[in-house]
Structure 1
């Protein structure tokens, strides 16, 4: 096909890569910042300009961080995996991450802690789509085809592989190729692939602009309600800044609860930090915003990764989570 996808400006600049609370008492020898009891009163937090970290900006707008004596400086990142070196170097104090990347890093010996939940899949938030005139009608028809994903060996390929298994196919029955979300429509139209794995707001953009069809919701069956993204910090930073971390987590939990209970709060905040306008924000399908980091729920991701050989040995996710101090 030769048509050109003209993604609206509200979504053109987006690129998704697809990324429990903590804190104990501060030792008596630990210095406080500005008399607040916090080790640091200003922290840099990495986040993507996508719906997932909406609670960060809700917390800012509602004064939740301020109430904790904390100033948060958001830093735009390109992905959770890309932010890991910044977390390790101290350039970022806390960052958004996707759970697959974090568990992979932990399996490689990286000293990373998960400090709060962020985003969980819901029906129709991550889909396999094809062009409207494609002969592909189901996942079974993908055999021998090329599926475009934003990253290889990550949540994208894990989700698609799960659907392939349900259809009686193996990961090797398809070819995966990387392509940023905003470029996927053009790539399909120019013959670079047969199907795309995509998320919002690009699901809506491709459907409305080109008439792309969804052939599978990839968050069903084994991947139903799959945890997608959370907040991470280095093990060292979490240990050295327990009160600061706890303050961040209390504010985030409060904002997550608000995002979870009132979609309008998310719709209102999205245009302030993304290129999603108000009309698009009201139309897209959103995932869930859990207020607590549940080890049992998150273990599901690690178990799927082990099943599909993303990791060579089991990872106990509970050991990665900083317990909440309330």
Structure 2
């Protein structure tokens, strides 16, 4: 046997042995080693189906992570060009998603859950929750009254009119829960709908008796108009309550899974960065149109980086208590978790 023939025979024997080893592993339930792949290599990675997307936002502290992701290029890194459109509240944003005018929207969890329970998004395969946004902490969800009025505590709100940004949302839910905890008959309280930027003036000119505000409007009303805290709506039964996040339609999610996954990755970075106050303060000045001093005084909530079904189910239970749900909802079925989580 020549040297060349001998080498060929040895290589053939080695190949047979390798194939036999692989077959043996397979028979025993083992796996052959897969080639190394990119950590993002999955069904939701790769070029997005829709690179230009529209996102509904409210110019409040709650949405700071969006502006961070935009400014730091996190959306761009994921192949997304995001057009931001201002909405008055979650319910309005959801209507625009259902109507196809928005691809994604920020909104309070109450509005998302209520719309799903009422089948308002049935023609677009329901609503899907894709990223958490904001969770309550003390003094960032307040009912304020004029400093010169007779309203000094929660009990003084009985029979009064309170401004909220939209009906049947997280503001109304938490207001009712905390008013009741303070022994106020909520059936005597009237809620009046108006945008957050209009509330300070409405309290001053007595269009309403009090207003349910969020930051930075709370701090601005306290500093500029001497308005006072009457009730912390994120206390007692609503302590640490999940407030809001981001969603889309089931139809959009089904047709654009890579776009949704890209949005989730960008938002996860934005949410993580939003925990750093020095990063957020200058952005508030820019997008919420408040002065630097006010931005430095606002009270922040928490910016969760993951969607937790158990935490969100707490909102469902409160909604059931205050008859804000026509039927029960398992919020877990609405959530699209980021790939790999």
Superposition TM-score, scaled by structure 2 size: 0.80
Deviation at 1:190, TM superposition (A): 3.3
Deviation at 1:286, TM superposition (A): 1.6
Paired residues of 1:44 and 1:93 also in contact (CA < 8 A):
yes
Specify which of 28, 34, 52 is matched with residue 42 of structure 1.
Answer: 52
Q: Distance in 2 between matches of 1:144 and 1:272?
A: 38
Counterpart position of 1:168:
183
Q: Distance in 2 between matches of 1:210 and 1:257?
A: 34
Q: Distance in 2 between matches of 1:259 and 1:25?
A: 29
Counterpart position of 2:3:
none
Paired residues of 2:307 and 2:337 also in contact (CA < 8 A):
no
Q: In structure 1, the residue corresponding to 2:61 is in which secondary structure? A: coil
Specify which of 121, 124, 127 is matched with residue 136 of structure 2.
Answer: 121
Q: In structure 1, the residue corresponding to 2:333 is in which secondary structure? A: helix
Q: Distance in 1 between matches of 2:174 and 2:112?
A: 16
Q: In structure 2, the residue corresponding to 1:283 is in which secondary structure? A: coil
- RMSD of aligned alpha carbons: 2.1
Q: In structure 1, the residue corresponding to 2:307 is in which secondary structure? A: coil
Counterpart position of 1:199:
214
Q: Distance in 2 between matches of 1:53 and 1:301?
A: 20
Specify which of 157, 175, 182 is matched with residue 172 of structure 2.
Answer: 157
Q: Distance in 2 between matches of 1:128 and 1:59?
A: 30
Counterpart position of 2:24:
none
Distance 1:42 1:229, change over 3 A: same
Counterpart position of 1:300:
314
Structure with greater helix share of residues: 2
Distance 1:244 1:185, change over 3 A: closer
The question of 1:101 aligning with 2:114 is answered no
Superposition TM-score, scaled by structure 1 size: 0.84
Deviation at 1:24, TM superposition (A): 6.9
Residues 250-287 of structure 1: per-residue CA shift (max 9 Å, x gap)? 11101101112x11111122233331233322221121
Distance 1:70 1:188, change over 3 A: closer
Larger radius of gyration: 2
Counterpart position of 2:68:
58
Distance 1:296 1:86, change over 3 A: same
- 145-154 vs 94-103, which deviates more? 145-154
Counterpart position of 2:43:
25
Specify which of 234, 238, 263 is matched with residue 277 of structure 2.
Answer: 263
Q: Distance in 1 between matches of 2:42 and 2:149?
A: 56
Paired residues of 1:96 and 1:229 also in contact (CA < 8 A):
yes
Unaligned runs of 5+ in 2: 1-40
Bigger relative CO (Cα 8 Å, ≥ 6 apart): 1
Residues 33-84 of structure 1: per-residue CA shift (max 9 Å, x gap)? xxx5322222222222222221112112222222222222222333221122
Specify which of 136, 147, 151 is matched with residue 151 of structure 2.
Answer: 136
The question of 1:311 aligning with 2:329 is answered no
Residues 135-156 of structure 1: per-residue CA shift (max 9 Å, x gap)? 2332122222222322232222
Deviation at 1:180, TM superposition (A): 3.1
